[in-house]
Amino acid sequence: MASWLGLEKFKEFHKIDRKIYARLVIDLGLDPNQCKKVLGFWNWLESTRYGYFVNKMIPLPDKSLHALAIEASTCLFFLNKEGSPPPDMDVPLIRGLISPDFSFGFIYENRQRMISGIQGFMENVCERAFSDIVPPKKSLQPQHQHGFLPHERVFSDIVPPKKSLQPQHQHGFLHQFSNRHEGFHSVPPNSVQPLALQAARQPPEILSVHSTDRSLFLTFSRGHHVTKEELKEHIIRKFGNCIESVFMKAHPQFPPLFARMVVHSHSDIERILGGNETVGFLVNGKQVRARRFVLK
């Protein structure tokens, strides 16, 4: 895609990835290189089995997003280890967002595909999509950030140099890829798991808001009916994949004049309305007006 898509359109296509990356490196102050690997891991999960996984992170508070990044570091840590992970290891936030059946076993079964997918994401997406997201300069002394090291020491480098993909034994670990830095610098999972568990005990906002409070009421002009597919395509293209469901009441004699659209979170409603009570937009040349849904 990067070879033919203009830079601005490419960034627009990866708008959600850019938002998450900016929060990680600017708001949370985490190391950019490590965060690219984390996003590569998340995107691989989304593309293989767990759709909309990255999109579900948008409404999460910083503390939960930070803990998710730490859980990802635990998964990446075990990509480098020989043998199975400890049976008591857990990633409660990831499981809560994608599937209660998710486990390290899935990672181990697909480790080669995962490594390749993360490498592809970093090579084909990161440099172009994140080129203008630059974190503020920090001290040269590494500081612990609640289990996350801000500099080049959070994970071992998971992307192999192009000249060699041969596994190498080093310090008792089977490396499926070579490190750009000397030694093995992943954060041991037992040092980061408590934060993930603490954040998991605080349910993300997205799980606690009733669908009625995440709904928009949409009206159409008579004679200019908008289909569900047209509406979804327009909203997703403009605001990202924020739609949970769309309800239109069918009528035998004429097309519906209104609909209710449920989005994933309050923040999606705020983005769509832009701080206004009502907004209007054109969907394939047909006028649509949107406001908050009020249950009567």
To the question of pTM greater than 0.85 for the whole model, the response is: no
Residues 183 and 264 in one domain: no
Both tokens of 283, joined, read 């969907």
Q: Is the pLDDT of residue 165 over 50?
A: no
Give percent above pLDDT 70 in the chain: 68
Q: Is the pLDDT of residue 163 over 60?
A: no
What are 72-122's pLDDT values in tens digits? 988 887 776 666 666 556 788 888 888 877 877 788 788 888 888 898 899
Residues 196 and 221 in one domain: no
Both tokens of 276, joined, read 């206004």
Q: Mean of the pLDDT values across residues 16-22?
A: 92
What are 179-208's pLDDT values in tens digits? 322 222 334 444 344 444 444 444 444 333
Which pLDDT band, with edges at 50, 70 and 90, does 167 fall under?
A: very low
Instruction: Tell whether the torsion through CA atoms of 280, 286, 292 and 295 is positive or negative.
Output: positive
| Alpha carbons within 13 A on the beta-carbon side of 238 | 15
How many structural domains is the chain composed of?
2
What are 202-240's pLDDT values in tens digits? 444 433 345 777 899 999 888 788 888 899 988 988 888
Give percent above pLDDT 90 in the chain: 16
Residues 148 and 22 in one domain: yes
Final residue in a domain of this structure, among 205, 230, 254: 205
Instruction: Catalogue the long-range contacts made by 223-226 (C-beta closer than 8 Å, 24 or more residues apart).
Output: 224/286, 224/287, 225/255, 225/256, 225/286, 226/259, 226/283, 226/284, 226/286, 226/288
3-state DSSP helix/strand/coil percent for the chain, to nearest 5? 45, 15, 45
Q: What type of residue sits at position 8? A: E
What is the structure's pLDDT at 157? 43
Q: Which residues constitute the domain of residue 238?
A: 209-292
Provide the 8-state DSSP code for 155. S
Residues 107 and 123 in one domain: yes
Residues 93 and 61 in one domain: yes
Which of the pair, 69 or 181, is modelled with greater confidence? 69
What is the structure's pLDDT at 84? 62
